Amino acid sequence: MPFFEDIEVGMRREIGSFTFTAELIKKFASQFDPQRFHLDEEEGKKSLFGGLAASGWHVGSVCMKLMVAAGQRTAKEAAARGEKVAVGGPSPGFRELRWIKPVLAGDTVHFSSEVESLRSSEKRPEWGIVQIRNRGTNQRGELVFSFLGIAFVARRHSSS
């Protein structure tokens, strides 16, 4: 993870791709969101989604999974170059989460992120606050998912 000082508005990052198989969709849904259109192909076809659809919380959780993996890759590369690596902070939340189109069984979603705004934390001077628009696009290039995430990012010179 880069330090707050290294981040600029408009910076874009490819997060990664994930294929939502029927098996994974049903596994997540049976645990957290067992609505019929997330569990059964026929019920999915009859619904507004038009097929077996992943729970929106599954799509969000997968985006998180890929963001963590991307962050770990970046940290490893920075460490290999001998650079100091920042520690990622927790997130206070998000806004404007949109499940724009259904994610159906077999769909591959590619996630990317773009920095929208930066500000300092008044309460925690050692942290900055970054707002990042995360987007998911399917294999047909259709935007299916987006949200404006908020995250604490460590400052390089927190003690000064």
Q: Is 41 exposed, middle or buried (0-12, 13-18, 19+ CB in 10 A)?
A: middle
Q: Which of 3, 4, 111, 147 contacts other proteins by CB under 8 A?
A: 147
- Count the site residues for other proteins by CB under 8 A: 37
> Quick check: 152 binds other proteins (CB under 8 A)?
yes
Which residues make Cβ contacts (< 8 Å) with residue 120, sequence separation at least 6?
Answer: 128, 129
> Quick check: 68 binds other proteins (CB under 8 A)?
yes
> Quick check: 62 binds other proteins (CB under 8 A)?
yes
As measured in angstroms, the least distance from the Cβ of 1 to other proteins is: 10
Taking the C-alpha atoms of residue 66 and residue 45, their distance in angstroms, rounded to an integer, is 29
Taking the C-alpha atoms of residue 1 and residue 139, their distance in angstroms, rounded to an integer, is 28
> Quick check: 82 binds other proteins (CB under 8 A)?
no
Taking the C-alpha atoms of residue 25 and residue 39, their distance in angstroms, rounded to an integer, is 7
Interface contacts to other proteins, rule CB under 8 A = 28, 31-35, 37, 47-49, 53, 55-57, 60-62, 64-65, 68, 87-99, 124, 127, 147, 152
